[in-house]
Homo-oligomer: A and B are copies of this chain.
Amino acid sequence: MSASAAEIDHPSPQGPYSTTLRAGGFLFLAGQGALDPATGLPDTSSLDAEVRLTLGNIERLLHSEGYTLDHLVQVVCYLTNLEDWARMNEIYADVLGPRIRPTRTAIGVSSLPFGLSVEMTCIAYREDAALTGSGASA
């Protein structure tokens, strides 16, 4: 892909993995955190910023494959400080809005790549995508 950094509007892989993969109507996303989608650099300046950027990256990846936040079915949230749970919930609910929300698991972990405080792993599903088969993002 020859796009410059300024043209990239969704996160790139930061290791040997695909950021998205489709399989039977499902879309699997690599774990997402508060990395600037253009530069790949982490922004851990505040929990609020982290949660919003993480969910923004998830939304950008969903859109890149024709999905939206409405299609999320499973989110696993990893937090390095579980006391961030209540505040994360507030921002998370604000970003997701009144739609039917995905199932979720939240756990406290020892550490996350790039010094992140939050990482989220997501699975989405579109019934009408089930006929399109599997594929990988660029």
Contacts and interface: CB of A to CB of B under 8 A. Distances in A.
Interface of A: 15-21, 23-26, 28-31, 73-76, 78, 80, 82, 85, 89, 92-93, 96, 100-113, 119, 121, 123, 125, 127, 130, 133-134, 136
Contacts of A130: 24
A109 B112 contact: no
4 smallest beta-carbon distances between A and B, as pairs: A31-B105, A108-B111, A17-B104, A23-B125
A89 B16 CA distance: 6
B18 A103 contact: yes
B107 A108 contact: no
Q: List the number of copies, as a whole number.
A: 3
Nearest to A96: B16
Contacts of A112: 82, 107-108
A127 B85 CA distance: 36
B106 A109 contact: no
Given A110-B82, A134-B125, A103 B20 contact: yes
